[in-house]
Amino acid sequence: MPGNHDGWSPVTFSTRIVRPFARQRATSSDATDSTVDPTTNPSTENQGGRPGRRLALPAAIAAGALVLAGGTAAFAHAHKTVTIDVDGQAREVSTFSGSVEGLLDDEGVVVAERDAVSPTGGLSDGDVVTVRHAREVTVAQDGKERTVWTTALTADEALDLLAVRDPAVQIVASRSGGGRPELALDLSLRGPATIVVDGGEVAVDDARTTVADALESAGIELGAYDTVALDNDDSGDVRVVVQRVTIQTVTRTEEVAFSSSTKDDASRYQGTKVVATKGVAGARTIVERVTTVDGKETARVLVADTQTRNPVDEVVAVGTKKRPVTTGGGGSGKAGPIGDTRDADSLNWAALAKCESGGNPSIVSANGLYHGLYQFSVGTWRSVGGAGLPSQASPAEQTSRAKMLYLRSGAGQWPHCGPRLFS
User: Residue 251's closest CA among 298, 199, 305?
Assistant: 305
Domain with CATH 1.10.530.10 in the chain: 326-422
User: CA–CA separation, 307 vs 68, rounded Å?
Assistant: 101
**CA neighbours within 13 Å on the CB side: how many for 152?**
21
Distances 411 to 213, 377, 407 between C-alpha atoms, Å: 80, 16, 9
Domain with CATH 3.10.20.30 in the chain: 1-10+57-133
What residue type is assigned to position 66 of the chain? L
Taking the model in full, what pTM does it have? 0.48
Which class is domain 1-10+57-133?
alpha beta
pLDDT digits (tens, 9 = 90+) for 395-417: 999 999 999 898 888 888 898 89
Per-residue DSSP letter, 267: E
Lowest mean pLDDT among 180-184, 195-199, 219-223, 413-417: 180-184
Other residues' Cβ atoms within 10 Å of the Cβ of residue 231 = 21
Residue 178 confidence (pLDDT): 54
Phi and psi based region of residue 347 (left: phi greater than 0; alpha: psi -120 to 50; beta: remaining): beta
First to last CA, the chain: 90
- Going by pLDDT thresholds of 50, 70 and 90, the confidence category of residue 305 is very high
Structural contact between residues 310 and 257, judged by C-beta atoms closer than 8 angstroms: no
Tell the CATH superfamily of the 248-317 domain: Resuscitation-promoting factor rpfb. (2.20.230.10)
Residue 338 confidence (pLDDT): 59
Query: 349-357 and 395-409 are packed helices; what angle lies between their axes, rounded to 10 degrees?
Result: 100
Element holding 62 (H helix, E strand): helix 42-78
More confident residue, 62 or 47: 62
* Range among 164-173, 180-189, 190-199, 327-336 rated most confident: 190-199
Domain with CATH 2.20.230.10 in the chain: 248-317
Structural contact between residues 335 and 390, judged by C-beta atoms closer than 8 angstroms: no
Q: Which CATH code, of 3.30.365.10, 1.10.540.10, 3.60.20.10, 1.10.530.10, is assigned to 326-422? A: 1.10.530.10
User: CA–CA separation, 104 vs 100, rounded Å?
Assistant: 6
Residue 176 confidence (pLDDT): 60
pLDDT digits (tens, 9 = 90+) for 346-380: 899 999 999 999 999 989 888 889 999 999 999 99
* pLDDT for residue 1 is more than 50: no
Q: What's the average model confidence in pLDDT over 97-124?
A: 89
Determine phi and psi for 392, rounding to 5 degrees: -100, -10
